[in-house]
Structure 1
């Protein structure tokens, strides 16, 4: 028997044995990392000065830094103390799900303040000349939601499109929304229309954490579906749709609208990498990189940083680079 055939047959037999772990053939594992890997809802950027910084839910927006995108160090928090206005939305001054970008010579950090299970929520913004922790100046509330609204103002993500600035956001409460921002202040324009981008057919409309990128003249909406924050029991997965307009409508590769529950599955849990979601995308040397968290089933469900290079098919749909190493 040829060695390759023997190897395939052995793998097939092992896959049928109870309790036997096997690599998933559909989804690639994240890039191997070292150092401080614990993170939740990561946003990552390659700094103008070189190196990388990642911010996340936890602490007063937890920070990680890296020189090579492989080894990560704990860098404390974005802020030394919570801005006082945060306490109107929770008792702990605890921010969630930041979004980091660079424009007009400054770094912009968007984040959410809320409490579990309520849409009494707000999105805030801060700026920094370097993007590093401890250098942020907070500028207050960008946009909010109340219990009478049908949306939840958390999980912000900002994109420039057609000379205008937009922010997608949303979690449950009928799904993903978008408003236009004033590029000078970084805050929602007065009386901004709240566009509806994606939802699920039935309550509780479990879709959140949007992120939009432009590629090949189209806009791609990535979002996290199903259950977050349950450790190894989490069912988070990343789906995607696209549109010729940043405000939608978004559809998947079969033409099903994301407003009707559509969305191509890009990444789901596999092996030890459970509940993949909380995603964002950043540019690194001309390549798109998907950042997300997963819950490590071999480490008590601890949330950790996942990074995969994002590729694009001939039909213009996103895919993930196979193989564990960096390109």
Structure 2
């Protein structure tokens, strides 16, 4: 399998973009069997960006085709409040109805950079293909009045099926508030909700892009958030909670609302950051993810930038695998199709690997290093939870790990990959070296 080559230069024709120029993405599957990606109306090197939520479709989560915008620019009430020129960070989901009739909700954000004058609005449709009809603001904030910011919406349903809106960013952190199960609007209009994540002023409170999933396998909620700047230093962090309103704790038991630690990077388990494997592209600022399921399989979709030209961004999809202790970690390689994850025959994990240490304090590109990995597992790519021993420079590291198949874009073949947590709560990930 050979992935499509990237054009040498930017083009104003969105039908040539594929997954390029997709920012703040979310992915759903329609009743027609087609995958739909919705994203911020952003692009680089383009004279006229189509205004309104961008929509792409795919038959396989690998090849994406731009098909237009879900809304024609900024809806009137959101525009009147914010003066926004475009729409950010759409959240799209199938909404439960009493009679089972298809109904889809889109929560979009309208704002401007550096401002708390923002709106999260709701649009509805009978299908993710549209047409979408604006239903008006769900949450609104004003810069000189409110301490929080009405952007970056996501919805999660608790154990009882009650919907909750997670939202927020820099300026006051991440909040969650209950929604009316029938209308999709706030149960109590004007309510801020419960604070579930924040960061200290020393890093400008840099947390945004929240997304929560309920994991029935562990009977707990997982919060994904992005730390730092979307332009060059994003990383994805996770924390878990027994209740949808928190507290959300990282792998070391620290709450994501804890700003007392002198190290602003110490709270939150980092599962994805800037990285590079030998011969491959150096990627930076992966973030603003959402999560979706395909049957029992879990996927993470996020945007990311090229280190050699950070203005160029694209969406990538990665498989999510869960360790024996219940921590969701992601593949070091983007998803390239089901067949691209199976090796011709089972292999031992013992051998030489290209390993990335996801140092929570590092904001640039973390280059992989060649390390020996030991373990008892043999697999052809089927995910296996297993302890791994990484022979690192400072001594052996024992990881609570998952080994699985992935597509190596440089070797152009399936390889074994892993992701795992060490005793300090830090994540390591790797791709098995391919013999020449």
TM-score of the alignment, normalized to the shorter chain, above 0.5: yes
Larger RCO (alpha carbons 8 Å, 6+ apart): 1
Q: CA deviation at 1:322?
A: 4.9
Partners of 1:86 and 1:93 within 8 A in 2: no
Q: Deviations over 1:96-143 (max 9, x none)?
A: 1110111222111101111111111110011111101x5101100011
Determine which of 60, 71, 77 is the counterpart of 1:68.
60
Give the secondary-structure state (helix, strand or coil) at the position aligned to 1:88.
helix
Task: Provide the residue aligned with 1:198 in structure 2.
Answer: 197
Q: Deviations over 1:160-198 (max 9, x none)?
A: 112211000011112111111111111111254510000
SS of the residue 1:259 aligns to: coil
The yes-or-no answer on 1:219 pairing with 2:221 is yes
Query: What CA deviation, in whole Å up to 9, does each residue of 1:196-231 have, x standing for no partner?
Result: 000112241000010000112100000010011x3x
2:290 and 2:258 map into 1 onto residues whose CA distance is 23
Alpha-carbon offset, residue 47 of structure 1: 1.5
Query: Cα RMSD between the aligned structures?
Result: 1.9
Change (3 A) 1:312 1:33: farther
Q: Give, in whole Å, the separation in 1 of the partners of 2:289 and 2:332.
A: 18
Change (3 A) 1:141 1:220: same
Q: What CA distance in whole angstroms lies between the structure 2 residues aligned with 1:142 and 1:274?
A: 33
- Secondary structure in 1 matching 2:257: helix
**1:20-56 superposed Cα distances (whole Å, 9 cap, x missing partner):** xxxxxxxxxxx95676112000011121210101111
Residue in structure 2 matched with residue 315 of structure 1 by the alignment: 325
Does residue 144 of the first structure (1) align with residue 149 of the second (2)?
Answer: no
* Deviation for aligned residue 1:302: 0.8
1:61 is displaced (CA, Å) by 0.6
The equivalent position to 1:258 in structure 2, one of 237, 256, 259, is 256
1:302 aligns with 2:312: yes
Report the CA distance between 1:278 and its aligned residue: 1.1
How much has 1:301 moved relative to structure 2? 3.4
Q: Distance in 1 between matches of 2:332 and 2:289?
A: 18
The equivalent residue for 1:210 is: 210
Q: CA deviation at 1:89?
A: 3.6
Alignment-derived partner of residue 35 in structure 2: 52
Contact 2:149 2:168 in 1 (8 A): yes
1:1-327 map, 5 Å: 36-38=18-20, 39-58=22-41, 59-104=51-96, 105-132=102-129, 134-147=130-143, 148-161=145-158, 162-190=160-188, 192=191, 194-203=193-202, 204-215=204-215, 216-228=218-230, 230=231, 234-261=232-259, 262-271=267-276, 272-298=282-308, 301-324=311-334, 325-327=336-338
* Structure 2 unaligned spans of 5+: 6-16, 42-50, 97-101, 260-266, 277-281, 339-436
What is the alpha-carbon distance in structure 1 between the residues aligned to residue 193 and residue 128 of structure 2?
29
In structure 2, how many angstroms separate the alpha carbons of the residues matched to 1:88 and 1:80?
A: 15
Count of residue pairs the alignment pairs up: 292
Name the larger-Rg structure.
2
